Amino acid sequence: MSKKFWLMLCAGALALHAGAALASTSLAVSAAPANSAENTVRQTLLRLVPKAEVDQITPAPIPGFYQVIASGHLVYISADGKYVMNGDLIDGVKGESLTDDAWASYRKTELAKVPVSDRIVFAPKNPKYTVTVFTDVTCPYCRVLHQQIDAFNKEGIAVQYLAWPRSGVTGDDGKPTQTYNEMVSIWCSADRNDAFTDAKKGKLPKQVDCKNPVKDQFDLGLKLGVTGTPSVYAEDGTLIGGYLSPTEMLQAVQEHSATGG
């Protein structure tokens, strides 16, 4: 049920009455205290998706609802647990997406927890802007983006890479995937930047291992809703695109920069 439920969320097709769904499940969940709306909301989601990892529950802009971020998805659940809604919540006055704003705020907070020392950074001497890019060493558009790294830097944009092996951390056989091993080797190289650039050109890194952040960064990507690479985030946490040309990147970062360009 959980996979189907999340697929429905991704497709934006969910508008269900949670009471009916709860009646159809035999999963035993302890009753939430009557005065705890947050716990009611949490239990409602976990009844529907038992394996969901609930990361944040906050009051929603809609009266009587809570905003829930769980396992890379954002939904709205009524305080009494009767209704679950998925979709883009729009401010009818400003015409702005409140859902996008909520995601951006959450992502900004979570990305800020990743130390620069765990990233692979290509930056000009005095960067005006910074983007965070979840990347894979094998994806074609990731390679095209990195081929233009000098152009991004020339525009004053620092590019900070996080690892996100598209094939996952482990395969169906339970063993680490080849891409994961390659990215670990890059992050463990004496010169990460050179190893990273070589890998983008198709040159496999020398296999080495060490304590590294690759799995943690992959898991973070899932938590933030990353589904492919490259995924490019502006300083305010907004997803500004997959591949962007230097001109497009500059325009996007100026729009979402704290300095306003």
Catalytic pick from 47, 119, 143, 166? 166
Residue 113: count of CB within 10 angstroms of its CB: 8
Catalytic pick from 42, 139, 143, 188? 139
Question: 82, exposed or middle or buried, with CB in 10 Å at 0-12, 13-18, 19+?
Answer: middle
Asked if 173 is an active-site residue, the reply is no
Residue 89: count of CB within 10 angstroms of its CB: 20
Q: In the beta sheet, which residues pair with residue 57?
A: 68
Asked if 188 is an active-site residue, the reply is no
Paired sense of beta strands 157-163 and 129-135, if any: parallel
Asked if 47 is an active-site residue, the reply is no
Asked if 136 is an active-site residue, the reply is yes
At residue 223's C-alpha, the angle toward residues 222 and 228, to 5°, is 30
Catalytic pick from 42, 142, 143, 188? 142
Q: Give CA–CA dist 148/234, Å, rounded.
A: 18
DSSP state of 236: T
How far out from the chain centre does Cα 103 lie? Answer: 9
| Both tokens assigned to 168 | 């996952």
Q: Give CA–CA dist 85/64, Å, rounded.
A: 12
CB neighbour burial string for 23-40, b if at least 16 within 10 angstroms, e if fewer: eeeeeeeeebeeeebbbb
DSSP state of 97: B
| Both tokens assigned to 186 | 């890059």
| Both tokens assigned to 33 | 């205290």
> Which residues are catalytically annotated?
136, 139, 142, 166
